[in-house]
Chains A and B, each alone.
Chain A
């Protein structure tokens, strides 16, 4: 079965640079969630989109923005990167009308040097 696809898997950036993370949800899933997991920490909710509209916002810095496109894939844009942004970034997708069970991708590991 198709799963959530995230790219890239690994990303190395310098401080103050910009990064773009991509997420391709499971086919026919209409909702995408982004989570950030720091070293040794649990995932923290950043932002979500339902039917291409932002549906909820968590502890996402103003330097970050995201959107969901017409094909339901989503991109998380991160600017003015800081050392503290180094983390695993997970995308999850769900079908809102089918219990909204969230399935996670393998994540993008971002290292800011």
Chain B
């Protein structure tokens, strides 16, 4: 069983819509949570990095962490065609630096 589960989608939305992505994890030892964006045949690009429960906002992106439910989310507001990519959640433990990735959700924003 994977340490972090992510709905692989795919997800198709019209331009301007809100994109909602989420992951669940099973072990409360995970303390660091990240969202990466990966364009086709490119390396993962860090979007958001959070440690504590709550919300973190960066421009059109909001990351949400609920440690009690072991649930993390990424919201993209006012989505643009350039947001079309695969979004990967990643988690790690405090003293274990390797990342465990979700399966990735492929998002297409239609113009």
Contacts and interface: CB of A to CB of B under 8 A. Distances in A.
Interface in B24-69: 34, 36, 41-46, 49
B42, B97, B100 interface centre (most CB from chain A within 10 Å)? B97
A64 interface: no
A42 B104 contact: yes
Interface residues of B, number: 19
A86 interface: no
Contacts, number: 53
B56 to A, nearest CB: 14
Interface residues of A, number: 28
A36 to B, nearest CB: 11
A25 interface: no
Interface in A37-72: 41-45, 48, 50, 55-56, 58
A101 B98 CA distance: 11
B104 A107 contact: no
B42 A100 contact: no
Given A55-B97, A102-B46, A106-B42, 16 more contacts: A33-B98, A42-B88, A42-B104, A43-B101, A44-B101, A48-B97, A56-B97, A56-B98, A90-B44, A99-B49, A101-B34, A101-B46, A104-B43, A104-B44, A104-B46, A106-B43
